[in-house]
């Protein structure tokens, strides 16, 4: 599963929720889709979308099956939402925000570790990973990225010569 966003608020009195997402496109949302809500760390409950409308480019107002009261909806606020990889496969290459948690492997250095966060710099995305106890920022640009495997949650890169030396000394 891939973390796609978070439920940030309730909407109205009929149990609708406001859901923000990190996909670069909103076309992936469909009626009947199962959103896996992380109620507790590592514990996911499926909720099925009965209706939705786009509020902003990265925000939906969702009606969820069997959720028809605001009190029940309040229990979902602040919870992270995940979807199956195949739902977002077409969008994953376009949005590095979906890569949080992916393991990074460099073709020369081997396994570096998981992406802990991504951030957008003026002209590129950067991935934050921890290597040998030190925070390392990796540019997520086309000539560095060699392969993205959504199912395996793996990013294969080829770092510029000397980049790790700058961080690791």
Q: Which two tokens stand for residue 16?
A: 């609708």
Q: Which two tokens stand for residue 32?
A: 């009947």
Name the residue ranges covered by the structural domains of the chain.
Answer: 2-91, 96-168
- Residue 84, SS3 per DSSP: coil
Return the pLDDT at 8: 95
Return the pLDDT at 91: 63
Return the pLDDT at 48: 95
Nearest Cα to 19, choosing from 73, 86, 69? 73
* CATH number for region 2-91: 2.40.30.60
Compute the distance between CA of residue 58 and CA of residue 60 in angstroms, rounded to an integer: 7
Return the pLDDT at 42: 84
Return the pLDDT at 46: 95
Residues with Cβ < 8 Å from 51, sequence gap 6 or more?
Answer: 31, 62, 63
Topology classification of domain 96-168: SH3 type barrels. (2.30.30)
Compute mean pLDDT per 10 residues along the chain, 169 residues long, and list them: 88 92 78 92 92 88 92 94 76 72 93 90 88 92 88 90 84
């Amino acid at each position: 599963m891939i973390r796609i966003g978070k439920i940030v608020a309730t909407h109205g009195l009929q149990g609708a929720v406001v859901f923000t997402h990190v996909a670069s496109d909103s076309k992936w949302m469909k009626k009947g889709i199962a959103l896996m809500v992380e109620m507790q760390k590592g514990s996911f409950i499926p909720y099925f979308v009965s209706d939705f409308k786009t509020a902003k480019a990265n925000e939906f107002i969702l009606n969820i099956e069997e959720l028809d009261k605001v009190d029940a909806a309040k229990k979902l606020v602040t919870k992270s939402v995940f979807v199956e990889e195949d739902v977002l496969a077409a969008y994953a290459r376009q949005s590095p925000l979906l890569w949080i948690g992916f393991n990074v492997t460099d073709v020369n250095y081997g396994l570096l570790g998981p992406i802990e966060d991504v951030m957008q710099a003026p002209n590129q995305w950067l991935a934050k990973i921890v290597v040998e106890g030190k925070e390392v920022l990796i540019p997520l640009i086309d000539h560095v990225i060699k392969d993205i495997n959504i199912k395996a949650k793996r990013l294969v890169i080829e770092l510029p010569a000397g980049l790790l030396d700058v961080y690791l000394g």
